[in-house]
Structures are given as C-alpha cells and as structure tokens.
Amino acid sequence: MNNENLRIIPLGGLGEVGKNMMLYEYKDQILVVDCGIMFPENDMLGIDYIIPDFQYLVERRDKVKGIIITHGHEDHTGAIAHLMEEVNAPIYATNLTRGLLEVKLSRNGMLNRANLMTVQAGHTVNIGAFKVEFFHVCHSIPDAVGLGITTPAGLVVHTGDYKFDHTPVDNWPTDYAKLAEFSARGVLALLSDSTNADKPGWTPSERVIDPAFDQVFSNAKGRIIIASFASLISRMQQVANAAERHGRKLAFVGSSMTENLKMARKLGYINVPESVIVPIDQALKMKPEEVVLMGTGTQGEPTSIMGRLSTGTNRHFDLIPGDTIVLSSHPIPGNEESVNRTINRLFRRGANVIYEPIAPVHVSGHASQEEMKLMLHLVKPKYLIPVHGELRHLYQHKQIAQGIGIPAENVAVVENGQVVEFRSGSMKISERVPGGYVFVDGSGVGDVAPSTMREREALAREGFFLVSLLIDKKTGKLREEPEILTRGFVQKDFSDQLITAACRKITETVANSNGSLQEDLEQMLKTFLFNETRRRPTVLVTLNKT
Ligand SMILES: [Zn+2]
Ligand SMILES: [Zn+2]
C-alpha cells in the first residue's frame, strides 16, 4: 500500500452520536483529533460507556505525533485516559479544555503521565507534517476550537462542534474571518458537524435561555433544582446569573460539577460573585424559596443526582413538595426513554418538572441547516466529509451540500473505520479498518464482549427467583415458610404449583445441608427450576439468622 497520500480515518462519531475521534495520517505520521465516549443504548445492559476501537492506532503507536482535543465535552474528551494507556503523545487543548482534561485525568490517576500543551484560538502549531491553525467556534461550552490543518496534500478544515451564535454567553462568536481566509487559500476538504442536519433554519442563540430561566425563577415557590451536564460551563454561568437576578443562593451538587466549577472559576471562564455560591449543606438548611441547586443527571442515569432523587434514593437530601426541577439539556439520542421515565418519577414524587418542549430551558450547541450552508459558503471546500452524526444526519448534510451546488461525488458519507484518501487533489474511498464499539463497564475495558452482552440480554429475559429464609441460629431449622418472589419467568397459575414444590425442596435442603447452605440452595434451585421450566432465571438466596 502506498502511504504517500493523506488518509482521513474516522474511528468514532460517524454513523452515531458520540465517541468522536478522527485520525489524519500522512506517511509515517498520525494526528489524532478528539477522543470521546458514547453512552450505551437501552439494550446494552450494564454498560457504563463505549469508547472507540483503538486497534489501528495501537498497531501504529509510534506514528502518533499529537492528540488535539477541540473542546471539553465528554463525547470529545471522555476516552482520553483509555487512549493514554495505549499511545504516548502530546495532547493539545485550549485553556478551559485543558482544565477539564486535568480534572478528568487526575481522577483517573493519569495526570502526571499526560503531556498537556495549551493552545489558543489564533495559534498555529506544527505537529509533525501537519500545520494546525486553531480558530474559535461557538458551542455550548466556552473555548471550543475548529482546526485548519495544512497537510502536504492540501488544506483541510475540521469544524469540531460549532454553531453560529451572534450573542453567545461569553460574547465570543465563531471566527467568520478565519473561515473566509481559509477559502481564499483553497480548501481541499471540509469535515463538518452534522448533529442537527435535520433541523431547518438557524439554531437559537444561547441568550434565549435567560428569559426562560427568568420565567421559571419567578414562578417557583420552593427550591429550584437544575440538572445539566457537568461540562456545560456556560449553562452554569447562566444559572448563576439567574440566581443573582432573583436573589437566590446557588449550590452545586456532586463532585464532577463542583470540581469543574472550581477550575472554570480559577481560569476565569465563569464569573460568579462569591456571595451567590453557598456550600450544599448550607443551602439545605436555608428556606426553599432562597436556593437553587445544580447537579448532573439529565440523561436519566440512575446513579446521577436526578436519577436518585427520582427514586428517593439520594442519601444527602430528598425532594420536598414545591420543588421545581429544570432539565437544562436535550436527551442524547437513545436516552429518550430513560429520560422520560425519570421525568415521570420526579412528577410522581411531587416535583414540578420543566424540560425542553415545555420551555426553552436548553438550546442546542450545534449548527442547524442554514448555518451548515453558511459554513460551506464561507469555507468553499472542494470535498465534504460530514462528521458527528447518525447516518441519517450525514446524508442530510450531503443533501444540504448538493443544494448549494457541491456535486454529490464530492461528498463522502462514510461510517467509522472507513478510510478516505486524498491524492493529487482528488478523493477516493479506501479500505476499512476496525471502527466498532469497545464496551466499558464497572469491571474494565473490553471485558464485555458482544457474547457477554447477549448473556445479559438472556438474563433479563429469563427473570429472577428470589428466596428469603429465616433460620433459627441454634437449631439451624427454618423458623418460617420460605418467602419466595419470582419476576418475569413463570405464569401465575403455574407459579403457585412451582413455588409449593420449591418450598418443599428448600426445606429438605436446609435440613440436609452440611456445607455452605447458601451455595447448596442456589445450586439446588438452579437445577430444580431448569428441570421444571426449561429456563434459567437468576437465583438469589438470602439467609437471615435469628
Ligand atoms: Zn460538544
Ligand atoms: Zn460533540
């Protein structure tokens, strides 16, 4: 294979929303852009998150000259610690992005191993054969950048996540002039954000959230609890401003939010008077109408603050009647069901919940169709590779490009792992490299193979068989009839019969066991249940001795 040409290799974010990761390869040099995670879909049981498949990089780890992180969102930064286990190269990021990376890496104990370099919008950095010009873009986090990458094959513009907001929270709009300057030089290819390619018009400015918050704050009689992402720094600023305007004190809940706030304040990306912020313990003692709490959990994650509040399992504090909850974010595709379930539970527990279709308490950080057209007009690329989005978004982006005169054959709609090559000014689709999912759960990376996922699905399908026993400490005999609960594996009329038989078996086993009673019971029940039902439910036995 001839390696003289520029190869663009998507490892994540193409054909899905999340785990963005792009490689630029020229000869023996590779530049990595972003390294994010993706949240699991509903049918991926027990998976915490998904990272890109690094195999292509692992086989070429000496070629990696640098890693650029365009901004601080999880879908661009989340897998960085995993990548650092495999690849050792300097990481380039703007000030705030670097701060967020530092918080993340120090939590993983990886900070001293990281070679972090601070860059700024307007800077040019040579990374191997690549000359990278960083330019500012508006997004839902400050200090986001896009990249102009001059390669020996030509100039490539990589937008990162962006929108064209004329009134952003930090008053720093996207760098239109730089984009126009690139087009004057001639742009070989544009890699552009497709997240909102199916949204007509123009994404509203972040500013529209302020009046929506004012409305919520004026109407709320009790506490206001706002959920957002820990990395939505500009949203924290907007909440703090609203709290100040309405004479409430603001407390942050949870370590990720508190740490990010501390870092963003230190670096000057959040400007909140000391008097507005109070520690959570103090806030909980104040009158409900005087406080705002802000935490994570907009995606219905059961372990987040919002998830725990919705199920009444938050240890620190509980919902109280009159609480107003604001979900200031949009469900990530795939999470809608669990988000809606959480909203329902919060209502059931007496809270008033305000979420996006009810009030504009969130706006997207991504360009809509008209902004995508503007990007294409400003940059005037010869070729377009739509990035960041499910296949439908990438195809929509292609339609938009065709609509303004870019020939269909100059747009490459490709998915993860599909190599695109540029040589002598023209584009061709090349071979495929591994670009699949790597699952991460509590026990580790890649331990969960697709076969394990199937086992988990089966587990969910087969149901549970729970036995609770009260045993006399002295005699070792049952003090009561076994208590048995089954879920999801036998029909009601059959279950009475089955349970009676199981009770008999359990009593026998208790009388005869001379090893570990727990193990004996579980083993016996597994065999018994399989013989009776041809199914393998999960068996759980609890022994209470008195
Ligand atoms: Zn983003
Ligand atoms: Zn993103």
State the distance from the centre of ligand 1 to the C-alpha of 75, rounded, in angstroms. 7
Average pLDDT value for residue range 371-379: 98
Distance 235 CA to ligand 1 centre (A): 13
Ligand nearest to the CA of 72: 1
Q: What is the pLDDT of residues 109-144, one digit of tens each?
A: 899 999 999 999 999 999 999 999 999 999 989 999
Looking at per-residue pLDDT, the higher value among 18 and 159 belongs to: 159
Tokens linked to 224: 């206001």
Residue 312: DSSP 8-state? T
* Segment 15-24 mean pLDDT: 94
Concatenated DSSP letters of 159-212: --S-B--SS-TTS----HHHHHHHHHH-EEEEEEE-TTTT--S-PPPGGGHHHH
CB 49 within 8 A of CB 60: no
For residues 305-324, give the mean pLDDT: 91
CA diameter of the chain: 90
User: What does the pLDDT average to over 33-51?
Assistant: 79
Beginning with the edge strand found earlier in the chain, give each strand of the sheet holding 29-33 in spatial order.
116-119, 91-94, 64-68, 29-33, 21-26, 6-12, 418-423, 426-432
Please name the amino acid found at residue 509. T
**Cβ contacts of 467 within 8 Å, gap of 6 or more:** 482, 483, 484, 502, 506, 521, 525, 539, 540, 541, 542
Whose tokens are 């990696």? That residue is 64
SS3 403: helix
When the pLDDT of each residue in the chain is averaged and rounded to a whole number, the result is: 90
Residue 409 Cα to ligand 2 middle (Å): 26
Structure tokens at 43: 């049918």
Residue-level pLDDT at 493: 66
Higher pLDDT, 201 or 256: 201
Tokens 């990089």, residue?
57
Is the Cα torsion angle 241, 246, 250, 256 positive or negative in sign? negative
**Does residue 166 contact residue 176 with C-beta atoms inside 8 Å?**
no
CA–CA gap between residue 24 and residue 421 (Å, rounded): 10
**75 CA distance to ligand 2 centroid (A)?**
5
Q: Where does the pLDDT of residue 474 fall: very low under 50, low under 70, confident under 90, or very high at 90 and above?
A: confident
Work out the average pLDDT over 192-200.
97
Query: pTM (2 decimals)?
Result: 0.80
Q: Is the CB of residue 357 less than 8 Å from the CB of residue 212? A: no
Q: 364 C-alpha vs ligand 1 centroid, how far in Å? A: 10
The reply to whether 366 belongs to the active site is yes
- Is pLDDT above 50 for 395? yes
Percent of the chain scoring above 70 in pLDDT: 93
**Distance in Å, CA 495 to ligand 2 centroid:** 49
Residue that is written with structure tokens 């040099």 in the block:
29
Mapped onto helix, strand or coil, the DSSP state of residue 143 is coil
Among 161-170, 284-293, 346-355, 450-459, the range scoring the smallest mean pLDDT is: 450-459
Coil, strand, or helix at residue 120? coil
C-beta of residue 513 within 8 angstroms of C-beta of residue 520: yes
CA of 143 to the centre of ligand 2 (A): 14
Annotated active-site residue in 193, 323, 362, 388: 193
Q: Which ligand lies nearest the alpha carbon of 232?
A: 1
State in Å: Cα 545 to ligand 1 middle.
54
Report how far apart the first and last C-alpha atoms of the chain are (Å, whole number).
74
Confidence of residue 39 (pLDDT cuts 50, 70, 90): confident
Average pLDDT score over residue span 360-384:
95
Q: How far is the CA of 97 from the centre of ligand 1 (A)?
A: 11
Cα Rg of the chain, angstroms: 27
Provide the pLDDT for residue 416: 96
C-alpha to C-alpha distance for 270 and 175, rounded to whole angstroms:
21
- Per-residue pLDDT tens digits for 487-520: 777 666 677 888 888 888 888 888 888 778 888 8
pLDDT of residue 146: 98
Q: Can you give the pLDDT at residue 450?
A: 64
Residue 542 Cα to ligand 1 middle (Å): 46
CA 150 to chain centre: 31
Higher pLDDT, residue 454 or 261: 261
Ligand 1 ion: nearby residues, β-carbon < 5 Å: 73, 161
- Angstrom distance (rounded) from CA 442 to CA 141: 29
Which ligand sits closest to the CA of 231?
1
Ligand nearest to the CA of 137: 1
For residue 143, the ligand closest to its alpha carbon is 1
Is the distance from CB of 104 to CB of 93 less than 8 angstroms? no
Of all ligands present, the nearest one to the C-alpha of 162 is 1
Kindly name the residue from 76, 136, 366, 397 that is annotated as catalytic. 366
C-alpha of residue 397 to centroid of ligand 1, in Å: 18
